[in-house]
Amino acid sequence: MRATIIHISDLHFHSYPQKFSECNAKRILGATNLLVRRAREFPLKRAKLLVERIQKMDWDHLVISGDITQLSLEREFSLAREVLGPLLKNDQRVTVIPGNHDRYVNQQHGTDLFTKYFGEFFGTNEVHVSKINQEWVIVGWDSAHPNDWRTAAGTVKSSTIRATEKLIHSFSDQTNFIVVNHFPLTFPEDWKFDRFHELYNLVPVRNWILQNPPIRLYLHGHIHLNWCHRLPRDSAPELLLVNSAASCSKLHTGQSSSFHQIVLEDSNVKVNPILLN
């Protein structure tokens, strides 16, 4: 049975703080970065172009792997929901998870703006679950949480791992799983790892996934480079790790893809890079 997934990430819909209550050290730093660089990198017209491009494609499921916003302001979430609206008409065909920018700071009065605007595409359980067909199931993780002004790291909770283990065991041995999480588990060869920017528990999480062969795909964003990495397993199918970050940013020299189309044919996987011109 054939199914097609569109994977996008790190859209960074942006605005600026307009009230004193929206300002703190981290948001001031983020707003400065937005003014100096990021607003030019993520013009609104590129986000609209991305939506138009995806509307013209054939797909069965859309995955957005976090960082919908820049400063986790309500105006940013509202704008994102409006622009992405044409792709979000059927919540059974969409998976959305939060990124560190969507949990940039502690919200006032405990309000979770991600849940308010996109919660229907994750759900209320520990992990998000979307059954694509008889062979494939998507599992979404929420590993994002507020940090201090220096830090953009995340954590996969032990309860999330336990819930995923229970879920895998509830399906047949023939089922393949796709884990969606904001943070990467692998990096380019020349990448300088920054513990303040990645998963705090990256190594045990990566090892756990590698030890669970039913997990065939890991979709993420966070680092604004597109890639498809492969990790071998002994006597089991390899793990594919796909990064579709900065899907609507301006193109840079030598860029070959903006997001990915993933074709599932029975238990086989084909990843097609898509460039948003």
CATH classification of the domain holding 137 = 3.60.21.10
Tell me which residue of 257, 237, 240, 261 sits closest to 249, measured CA to CA: 257
Containing structural domain, residue 239: 2-16+25-274
Q: Are strands 136-140 and 259-265 parallel, antiparallel or unpaired?
A: unpaired
Number of structural domains the chain divides into: 1
Q: What percent of the chain has pLDDT over 70?
A: 98
Residue 222 near residue 12, CB atoms below 8 Å:
no
Which carries the bigger pLDDT value, residue 21 or residue 98? 98
Residue 139 near residue 97, CB atoms below 8 Å:
no
What residues contact 100, with CB distance under 8 A and at least 6 apart?
Answer: 66, 67, 144, 145, 147, 152, 153, 154, 182, 183, 222
For residues 76-83, average pLDDT: 98
For residues 240-260, average pLDDT: 96
Residue 43 near residue 158, CB atoms below 8 Å:
no
For residues 199-205, average pLDDT: 97
| 159, burial (CB in 10 Å: exposed 0-12, middle 13-18, buried 19+) | exposed
For residues 211-234, average pLDDT: 97
Q: Coil, strand, or helix at residue 38? A: helix
**pTM to 2 decimal places:** 0.96
**Rounded CA separation 50/226 (Å):** 15
The whole-chain average pLDDT of the chain stands at 94
Which carries the bigger pLDDT value, residue 24 or residue 114? 114
End-to-end CA distance of the chain: 31
Q: What is the pLDDT of residue 20?
A: 63
User: Is the alpha carbon torsion for 208, 67, 137, 187 positive or negative?
Assistant: negative
